[in-house]
Amino acid sequence: MTALDVVHVSGMRDDERGGAAVVVLHGWGAAGTDLVPLAQALQRPGVRFFVPAGPLPEVGGGRAWWHLDPDTRPPHAFTDQLPPGFRPAPAVVAARAAVQGLIATVVDRYAPATVALVGFSQGAMLSIDVALAGAPRVDRVVAMSGVLLVDSVPALTAPQATKPRFLLSHGRYDASVPFATSGHARDLLEKHGFAVTWRAFDGGHDIPEPVLADVDQFLFS
């Protein structure tokens, strides 16, 4: 079992199997339950949502998947080449393993027909990373206001039998995660054969209603 604290949003009985599973990952410094309303807004019959809290505490009571210490935070990827002397960021390795553990538990217990990841900001970066890792398999990824991490590059370039589909969205006036970095993620994913739906919008570091509609269609169409 995963050690993450998880909120479960679903109208399905606990003894039901099948359906779809969606794991929703919040951004840095948010409350662990920050995206529960998002899961509730997307809820529909036959779908289970799992909203874990990041394992690391932040000042003010928020949570994180990794801290933003300038000496240890994972760098963003602008190419598909690893920099000289690259070493995996321990916090990313730990966060990846925690989410993989959650997905494995969900698959073992409920046997969903499909598994999706939905993430915002830091949670978007982790969603991309976990999906590229490929074990357990993830079918669809929604990454809102995120980037591709250098830690994800080895999996990006590795052969994969099946490739997840991606929806990337980003506000043109995002003051927290630069808009251009999401474009780099799109270009690198497409370069390596991943199907990407791209949604840019006139806004900042948020999830506007039109993007929420895009997410719903992408996950369930």
Query: For the domain that residue 27 is a member of, what is the CATH number?
Result: 3.40.50.1820
**What phi, psi does 163 have (nearest 5°)?**
-115, 130
Give mean pLDDT, residues 144-152.
Answer: 97
Per the structure, how many domains does the chain have?
1
Q: What is the mean pLDDT of residues 28-53?
A: 97
Q: Are 58 and 28 in contact (CB under 8 A)?
A: yes
pLDDT at residue 1 greater than cutoff 80: no
CA dihedral for 147, 177, 116, 23, sign (positive or negative): positive
Residue 8 lies in a domain: no
pLDDT digits 0-9 by tens, 167-176: 999 999 999 9
Q: Does residue 120 lie within any of the structural domains?
A: yes
User: Considering only CA atoms, which of 106, 36, 23, 96 is closest in space to residue 65?
Assistant: 96
Does residue 38 fall inside a structural domain?
yes
pLDDT tens-digit profile of 183-217?
999 999 999 999 999 999 999 999 999 999 999 99
* DSSP code at position 150: G
The answer to which of 38-52, 61-75, 93-107 has the lowest mean pLDDT is 61-75
In DSSP terms, which residues pair with 194 in a beta bridge? none
Residue whose tokens read 């529909």: 44
Residue 83 included in any domain: no
| Contact present, 106 and 13 (Cβ < 8 Å) | no
Please check whether residue 208 lies inside any domain of the structure.
yes
* Mean pLDDT, residues 99-111 taken together: 98
What is the average pLDDT value for the chain, to the nearest integer? 95
Phi, psi of 171 (to 5 degrees): -80, 135
Helical spans, DSSP H, in the chain: 36-42, 90-110, 122-133, 153-156, 179-191, 209-220
Could you list the residue range(s) of the whole structural domain that residue 47 is in?
Answer: 17-67+88-220
Contact 50, 19 (CB under 8 A): no
Predicted local confidence at residue 47, as pLDDT: 98
| Mean pLDDT (whole number) for 45-70 | 95
Question: 199 lies in a domain?
Answer: yes
Question: Is 73 part of any domain?
Answer: no
Closest to 15 (Cα-Cα) out of 104, 111, 101:
111
* pLDDT score for 2: 46
Nearest Cα to 149, choosing from 129, 134, 169?
A: 129
Q: Is residue 81 part of a domain?
A: no
The beta strand positions in 55-96, using DSSP E, are 56-57, 63-64
